[in-house]
């Protein structure tokens, strides 16, 4: 069963958002995916994208054969299919685009679905707004339990002194309490 898509003659790329497109590129590969966005340079973002590419051996066989056009069409051409997912396709490499299938939902259905999702997120946001007060008190309690004792830096190599013996530790504390040259104690 084939579905037909009615397309106006003055179709622009912005009208094809959420359509499944087939994009032919300069290197001969074909990308099929759902158009999610584009810019003035025709860079495209495609969702659930896969790449169709003719095998090198098949391409060499097609070039080397001197058969008639009918025989070449009946010959089996092996294509590689590679799943890519979400991609950004550079507009410089795009040769042509064609529609594979229309979006799964029309604009009204998408709008209604988006409104339902917005309502759910608003409810979720209200629950979250009450939680920060509770979580902040929990965070304060947890910071009280944390050991905030800081060890002074060793002036020789600007690193934390090792706990090798008590005499070194006392001397590093004494050095840390000394003011740098040019500073006066107030």
78 is a domain residue: yes
pLDDT higher for 86 or 79?
86
84 is a domain residue: yes
Mean pLDDT value across residues 66-81? 65
pLDDT more than 90, % of the chain: 26
Structure tokens at 70: 């009918």
pTM listed for this prediction: 0.51
20 is a domain residue: yes
157 is a domain residue: no
177 is a domain residue: no
100 is a domain residue: yes
Q: How many domains does the chain have?
A: 1
94 is a domain residue: yes
- Burial pattern 143-160, b for ≥16 Cβ within 10 A else e, equals eeeeeeeeeeebeeeeee
Nearest to 29 by CA among 50, 46, 8: 50
Contacts of residue 29, Cβ cutoff 8 Å, sequence gap at least 6:
51, 52, 53
88: domain CATH number is 2.30.30.100
104-141 residue pLDDT tens:
777 788 788 888 888 888 887 765 444 445 544 445 55
Ranges 5-9, 50-54, 72-76, 131-135: which has the least confidence: 131-135
Nearest to 31 by CA among 12, 50, 15, 56: 50
154 is a domain residue: no
Starting at the earlier edge strand, list the strands of the sheet with 94-101: 79-89, 44-54, 30-38, 20-25, 94-101
């Amino acid at each position: 069963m084939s579905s037909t898509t009615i397309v106006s003659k003055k179709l622009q790329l912005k009208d094809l958002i959420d359509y499944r497109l087939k994009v032919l590129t300069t290197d001969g590969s074909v990308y099929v995916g759902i158009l999610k966005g584009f810019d003035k340079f025709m860079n495209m973002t495609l969702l659930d994208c896969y790449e169709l590419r003719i095998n090198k051996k098949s391409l060499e066989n097609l070039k080397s054969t001197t058969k008639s056009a009918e025989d070449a069409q009946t010959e089996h051409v092996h294509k590689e299919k590679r799943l890519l997912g979400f991609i950004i396709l550079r507009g410089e490499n795009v040769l042509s685009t064609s529609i594979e299938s229309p979006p799964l939902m029309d604009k009204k259905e998408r709008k209604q679905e988006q409104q339902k999702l917005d309502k759910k997120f608003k409810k979720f946001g209200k629950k979250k707004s009450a939680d920060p007060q509770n979580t902040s008190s929990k965070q304060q309690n947890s910071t009280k339990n944390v050991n905030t004792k800081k060890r002074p830096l060793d002036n020789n190599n600007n690193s934390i002194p090792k706990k090798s013996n008590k005499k070194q530790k006392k001397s590093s504390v004494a050095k840390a309490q000394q003011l740098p040259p040019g500073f006066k104690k107030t």
